[in-house]
Amino acid sequence: MATKIRLQRHGRKSYAFYSIVIADSRAPRDGKFTEKIGTYNPNTNPATVDLNFERALSWVMNGAQPTDTVRTILSREGVYFKKHLLGGVAKGAFGEAEADTKFEAWKNNKQTGLATLKAKQDEAAKADAKARLEAEKKVNEAKAKALAEKKAAELAANAPAEEAPAAEEVPAAEEAAEAPATEAAAE
């Protein structure tokens, strides 16, 4: 029996969600499987992988052949690096404690890189949102200015008919206000 580690598709149309399974190579893609060792969700950014690391390592060590996509997933999760280190331990190149130390250093480095990537994505999203807000403010100001000019033009068009009587009243009011001031200065 040729054992494969492969993806089993779930989810709706255009929104795939996969289970990582151990199956006989002759079984259909979404058919019978031996063991489910994890899930893979490519719809998130970055893709979400939930993997039973020990079982995946066990199957890889026993000769299960992954598909290309699953091989990439297992490499990113460190299964193949751990297999490489365990091969070095078996050959006597270094001890198991040193292999565990190297693996933990690699894992911490990987987590730091992912955190940095996530921080950059969040910062880019905030900058994009800020730029869109500024652009929207400029558009709103331009619309408000155009609306104010339109209202001023309408008032100017309606005002000449109404301002003629008002214009005659204003100088009379100014003359009345100036008359007491000139009389007070003369006294």
User: pLDDT tens string for the chain (187 positions)?
Assistant: 689 999 999 999 999 999 999 999 898 888 889 999 999 999 988 889 999 999 999 999 999 999 999 999 999 999 999 999 999 998 988 888 999 999 999 999 998 988 898 899 999 999 999 999 999 999 999 999 999 998 988 888 887 655 555 545 555 555 555 555 555 555 5
Helices within the chain (DSSP H only):
53-61, 68-77, 79-91, 96-186
For residue range 102-126, list pLDDT tens digits in order.
999 999 999 898 889 889 999 999 9
Q: Which residues contact 26 (CB under 8 A, 6 or more apart)?
A: 2
* 3 state DSSP class of 62: coil
For residue range 78-100, list pLDDT tens digits in order.
999 999 999 999 898 888 899 99
Using alpha carbons, list the distances in angstroms from residue 151 to 23, 144, 145, 158.
74, 10, 10, 10
Rounded distance between C-alpha atoms, residue 23 and residue 30, angstroms: 10
